[in-house]
């Protein structure tokens, strides 16, 4: 079972560092750098891809106080790292012309973010901040170890080439994550035309 410390030690190993840490609070340069960057890099990796384990769908909370140019103003979810879409009711993969328009802004008193749209009773599909390491799939963990390695590299090694290599590895893993994600979903099959059906009969 993965842990934050295991991910940090894997990141250190990606840089060729043979020193491991046992806690983010210990008095070592490695622990200090991992503690400084871990959470921000976790959120950055989450936001870089539509990870299945981090994709949430929620009914948005209506503020009942929209601006003049939109019909609705909804509260922005506190755990949202990146909006994927406001789903079109009953249509899993709508054409671009059918997608729901929205705009993200601040509320009138500046205390939080709002989502403006003309969609009534809107839901939101988004990438959420996930802090439970047990939720991370193996590809995400691998991506995070390389992203974290790239962030802590210069402080620990001073070798820019190691950081560039870590970023290259990270980008490659993100590209590969797409095919893995497709294996965990089933896209709707386009209906056959009447002509094709008639030919097969």
Judge if 99 and 159 occupy the same domain: no
Helices (H), the chain: 4-14, 29-47, 138-156, 160-182, 194-200
> Does residue 117 belong to any structural domain of this protein?
yes
User: Same structural domain for residues 58 and 42?
Assistant: no
* 99 and 151 inside one domain: no
> Is 187 part of a structural domain of the chain?
no
Residues of the chain with pLDDT under 50: 189-193, 195-201
Whether residues 73 and 106 share a domain: the answer is: yes
For residue 82, what are the domain limits?
Answer: 54-128
Cα-Cα-Cα-Cα dihedral sign, residues 147, 170, 51, 118: positive
Residue 193 lies in a domain: no
Distance CA 11, CA 145 (A): 4
Shared-domain flag, residues 32 and 83 = no
18 and 72 part of one domain: no
Q: Is residue 194 in a domain?
A: no
103 HSE (CA, 13 A, CB side):
11
51, two tokens: 């990870």
198 occurs within a structural domain:
no
Same domain for 43 and 106?
A: no
Count: domains in the chain = 2
Instruction: Check whether residue 67 and residue 123 sit in a common domain.
Output: yes
User: What pLDDT score was predicted for residue 183?
Assistant: 52
Q: What is the pLDDT of residue 90?
A: 67
Pair of tokens at residue 57: 């769908």
SS (H, E, C) 58-77: EECCECCCCCCCCCEEEECC
Q: Which of 82, 101, 128 is the last residue of a domain?
A: 128
Q: What is the pLDDT of residue 191?
A: 46
Position 15 in a domain: yes
81 and 124 part of one domain: yes
pLDDT at 196 (0 to 100): 44
pTM: 0.84
Residue 45 belongs to a domain: yes
Kindly state the tokens that stand for 154.
């210069």
Reported as a single tens digit per residue, the pLDDT across 79-121 is 999 999 999 876 667 777 788 999 999 876 766 899 999 999 9
58, 45: one domain: no
| Cα end-to-end span (Å), the chain | 53
- In the chain, the largest separation of any two C-alpha atoms, in whole Å, equals 75
pLDDT of 73 reads: 95
**Of the residues 128, 157, 174, which one is the last residue of a structural domain?**
128
pLDDT value of position 200? 46
Whether residue 84 sits in one domain with residue 147: no
Which strands, in side-by-side order, build the sheet including 113-117? Answer: 72-75, 113-117, 102-106
Residue 174 placed within a domain? yes
Note whether 59 and 15 are same-domain residues. Answer: no
């Amino acid at each position: 079972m993965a842990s934050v410390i295991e991910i940090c030690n894997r990141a250190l190993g990606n840089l060729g560092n043979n020193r491991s840490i046992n806690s983010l609070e210990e008095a070592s340069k490695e622990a200090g750098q991992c503690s400084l960057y871990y959470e921000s890099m976790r959120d950055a990796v989450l936001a870089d891809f539509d990870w299945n384990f981090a994709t949430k769908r929620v009914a948005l909370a209506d503020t009942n106080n929209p601006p003049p140019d939109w019909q609705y103003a909804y509260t922005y979810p506190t755990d949202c790292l990146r909006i994927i879409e406001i789903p079109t009711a009953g249509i899993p993969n709508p054409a671009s012309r059918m997608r729901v328009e929205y705009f993200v802004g601040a509320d009138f008193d500046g205390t939080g973010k709002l989502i403006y749209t003309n969609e009534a009773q809107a839901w939101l599909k988004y990438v959420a901040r996930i802090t439970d390491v047990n939720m991370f799939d193996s590809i995400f963990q691998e991506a995070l170890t390389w992203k974290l390695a790239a962030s802590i590299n210069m402080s620990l090694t001073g070798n820019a080439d190691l950081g560039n290599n870590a970023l290259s590895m990270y980008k490659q893993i993100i590209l590969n994550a797409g095919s893995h994600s497709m294996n965990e979903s089933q896209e709707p099959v386009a209906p056959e035309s009447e002509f094709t059906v008639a030919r097969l009969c």
